[in-house]
Chains A and B, each alone.
Chain A
Amino acid sequence: KAGVTQTPRYLIKTRGQQVTLSCSPISGHRSVSWYQQTPGQGLQFLFEYFSETQRNKGNFPGRFSGRQFSNSRSEMNVSTLELGDSALYLCASSIGQGSGYTFGSGTRLTVV
């Protein structure tokens, strides 16, 4: 079965711009989580969606937002980009609570 698909794989944006990242989970997985990975910081939790509802949110500013559609696909948006937003953004899907994740390959965002 198809894995978790993230698009685009690479992105270069300018400070102040906004960006939207997309994630298609594994078929049947209703939970989608987003993580930011930066060197030395590991994976930092952004938010988790289940059945179009945000169930949990990490400690990130309001510039970071997301949504989930009825087909479980999810998008993540970052507005007013800052240099420090440069990172690998990972999407992970799971069947539900208590289940492990399957990660996508990530979107590498570079802000210049």
Chain B
Amino acid sequence: DQQVKQNSPSLSVQEGRISILNCDYTNSMFDYFLWYKKYPAEGPTFLISISSIKDKNEDGRFTVFLNKSAKHLSLHIVPSQPGDSAVYFCAASEVNGNQFYFGTGTSLTVIP
């Protein structure tokens, strides 16, 4: 049972435009969410996180939005750059949890 879902396997965006990656979850006990970026032949690298007490967190070009009532989070990348082309995973954990649940990933391609 997939508790974290990324329903778009792939996304293509023009360079300079906004990329929006979406993630839905089913477990209402999740309270900490992260986004990871993964290049081929490398492990995932941490991008940005958000806890349930906030609905938005920004870090440079990356902003994560959390809608707890809809059990939905999204990652916005503005402006998108070709180097952002990678697979993006969202992940969630419960309060004081020691396991993260990952989505299946969205492959982002930024077209120059």
Q: Using a CB–CB distance below 8 Å, which chain A residues touch chain B? A: 4, 6, 31, 33, 35, 40-45, 48, 50, 55-56, 58, 90, 92, 97-98, 100-106
Contacts and interface: CB of A to CB of B under 8 A. Distances in A.
Contacts of A97: 96-98
A50 B41 contact: no
Contact of B99 (A48, A100, A106): A48
Given A90-B43, A105-B41, A50 B98 contact: yes
A101 B46 contact: yes
A66 to B, nearest CB: 14
Interface string B88-112: 0101010111111111110000000
17 contacts: A4-B43, A31-B98, A33-B98, A42-B102, A42-B105, A43-B91, A43-B102, A44-B102, A45-B100, A58-B99, A98-B32, A98-B95, A98-B97, A101-B46, A102-B46, A103-B44, A105-B43
Specify the main secondary structure of chain A where it touches its partner. strand
Contacts, number: 61
A45 B101 contact: yes
A48 B101 CA distance: 13
Nearest to B103: A42
A50 B43 CA distance: 21
A33 B43 contact: no
Nearest to B46: A100
Interface string B70-97: 0000000000000000000101010111
